[in-house]
Amino acid sequence: SVLRTQARSSSIQLMVTSLVICLFGVVAISSQNLLSQWQKELPENTPNLFLFNVSEMDVAPINRTLTQQGIDQNQWYPIIRGRLKYLNDTPIKEALAGDAKEDGSLKRELNLTWSERLAPDNKVLEGQWPPVIEKDETSVPVAGMSVESGLAKRLGLKLGDHMSFQVGAEMVKGKITSIREVQWDSFRPNFFIIFAKGGLANVAVTYLSSFHVPEQMTKQVEDSLREFPTVSIIPAFRLLKQLGILIAQAGIILQSSMVFLMILSMALIFSVLLSTYEERLMHGLVIRAVGGSNRFLNKMLMIEWFVLGTVSGITAAALTEAIYNLIAAGMLDLEPQLHAVIWLVMPLLAILALAISGQGLRRHLTNQSPMQLLKEQMG
């Protein structure tokens, strides 16, 4: 009945308390769990060593070197860099409309490759795999191409479209024969454009591949690859460690700032109480005037704090889970995850916050007589 008679102030308290505690929860969980959850969801034996700028003559020796150390061979991809110039024989900027003209893929060179084997983290959505070389209506050979679905959607590409790329002094042309969905966070080489084998003839290429190397063997493997001076090595696990350190440091800064955030939050909750102070004071005054004891008032306030705090905490926990999983899914494509501890901690925090911020009202009601309170209100 107390909450019903103070519906306005109770609703404001519930909303503000829920949002404040939700903010705490999102900051705390994101700073501690986001990277670790992402790493746990990576498949076993995810590649952690990338080799690029590998010449064709170095591919076989590198394979032998890695095999001698027990490292499984992986697929090598030829890499050619090309800039998209024409779509269906029309200059690309003229062929596209609206926001597509400002797409990032048009402002840089794309990595082009050819392959007959579909990578395990690729899925053909439309068309046929693998791309092959066909003859057009004038019997001129045309290389088939597979295009990544995101790029196809942004540029409005469809099966049968022709795309031309500037590769050095050469113009390389292909026909879209399939559209693929790509899992970009797989830590394997992936490409926007895959040509048919033989579709990128007469252009200089380098090779790229990735391998899973046990962490304790990384230095040994890196040392063995130093005999290939032109090869560039990227140890991904080191990047992950550095990323983890940066996130941990950011988490410490965020958690330190939470002290100041807590003070501001308590001030916000207190200001909400002040905005409805007179209404609540009059309600307490009526209870005192009709014979309500201090013990009854204290009990009434504790019930109010408990109910509001519990509802606020549960609401905050639900909001925190929703926002965290939205961030996790949007940024890192992670599976939804529940955090049981926040469903217990957040209601307790909310009850505590309401109890602390309401002490001024409680003391004012219980330390003065009803007559004195009434004079204050009248005067």
Residue with structure tokens 């800064």? 253
Residue 248 CA from chain centroid, whole number:
16
Residues 332-352 have pLDDT tens digits of 667 778 888 889 999 998 888
pLDDT at 175: 94
Confidence of residue 281 (pLDDT cuts 50, 70, 90): low
Confidence of residue 184 (pLDDT cuts 50, 70, 90): confident
Q: Give the CA distances from residue 139 to residues 87, 121, 135, 293, in Å, rounded to whole numbers and listed in that order.
A: 20, 35, 5, 100
Arithmetic mean of pLDDT over the chain: 80
pLDDT at 1: 44
Residues 26-74 have pLDDT tens digits of 877 776 676 666 666 666 777 888 898 999 899 999 999 988 888 877 7
Q: Is the pLDDT of residue 174 over 70?
A: yes
Q: Which of 178, 208, 196 is nearest to 81 (CA)?
A: 208
Report the range out of 18-32, 251-265, 356-370 with the highest average pLDDT: 18-32
Confidence of residue 300 (pLDDT cuts 50, 70, 90): confident
Q: Is the pLDDT of residue 9 over 80?
A: no
Centre a 10 Å sphere on the Cβ of residue 281 and count the other Cβ atoms it contains.
Answer: 16
pLDDT at 4: 52
Amino acid at 43: P
Q: Is the pLDDT of residue 366 over 80?
A: no
Rounded distance, CA 205 to CA 170, Å?
13
pLDDT at 164: 94
pTM over 0.75: no
Regarding predicted confidence, which is higher, 302 or 277? Answer: 302
313: which residues sit within 8 A by CB, 6+ positions away?
Answer: 18, 21, 346, 347, 348, 349, 350, 351
Q: Which of 148, 150, 193 is nearest to 172 (CA)?
A: 193
Residues 287-299 have pLDDT tens digits of 655 555 667 777 7
pLDDT at 177: 95
Residues 82-134 have pLDDT tens digits of 999 999 999 998 999 888 898 989 999 999 999 888 988 899 999 999 999 98
Residues 188-234 have pLDDT tens digits of 889 999 999 888 877 888 999 988 888 788 888 888 888 898 898 88
